[in-house]
Amino acid sequence: MTAPIAPADLRSAMILASVRRAFMEKGFDGASMQDLAREAGMSVGNFYRYFPSKAAIVEALITGDLTDLERDFSDILVSPNPMGRLRQTIKRHVEDSLCNGEGRLWAEITAVSLRKPEIAVIVGQMEIALVRNLTTVFSISSGLPLTDVIDRYAAHASFVVMMVMASSMQACDAGKQNADLTALVLRTINQTLDEIPQMTLKG
């Protein structure tokens, strides 16, 4: 049987979605529980029925992002041309995430993760998941065993992740400057992916 989605979980997910705005505008330390509750459209007391503490919200938020990423990759992995699909997903992500506020959140998460070990663990899990997913794509498109790919190209995966993150954290001025920079980022990512061997198709 499929796991039934508890209504409370659904509610929690909706709360997490609304709460992002408050965190974007004020930061994790700057946003108060009052702010979060207001943004979620409920009272402070009721808020605590869904999340036992402020720290729990932050952790749930990051964990939720990890779930989203897994979903993106499951799409990529089942596609007929995973590597091509990966490239276009990254392109879209880099071009869209410029001014949508998602970068603010990631900058916040990065800063906190370098400071708080318990957050570092969660972010570390996410990066491990990303690298595993990326190397899996590499493995499929190259035909090499996953273990070999991890040995040789894990750093390539990390590097791509780093570039995507970094470009999402750029200040958005919507000028030529940013467009040129985005182009350079995408070119570099593509060059990095070009270094992964490709399986020669048999006719």
Residues in contact with DNA by the rule CB under 7 A: 31-35, 42-46, 48-49, 52-55
**Minimum gap (Å) between residue 25 Cβ and DNA:** 12
Give the residues lining the site for a copy of itself (CB under 8 A).
Answer: 24-27, 29-30, 103-104, 107-108, 110-115, 120, 123-124, 127, 154-156, 158-159, 162-163, 165-167, 169-171, 177, 180-181, 183-185, 188, 192
The least CB distance from residue 80 to a copy of itself, in Å, is 29
Q: Which CB atom, from 42 or from 154, has the smaller least distance to DNA?
A: 42
Tell me how far apart the alpha carbons of residues 140 and 130 are, in angstroms, rounded to a whole number.
15
By beta-carbon proximity to a copy of itself, the closer residue of 17 and 120 is 120
Q: Which is nearer to DNA, 27 or 64 (CB)?
A: 27
Do residues 85 and 76 touch, judged by C-beta distance below 8 A?
yes
Radius of gyration of the chain (CA): 19
27: left (phi over 0), alpha (psi -120 to 50) or beta: left
CA distance linking residue 136 with residue 133, whole number of Å: 5
Nearer of residues 85 and 134 to a copy of itself, judged by Cβ? 134
From CA 112, how far away is CA 154, in angstroms rounded? 25
Give 153-165 as a DSSP string. HHHHHHHHHHHHH
CB of 192 to a copy of itself, least distance (A): 8
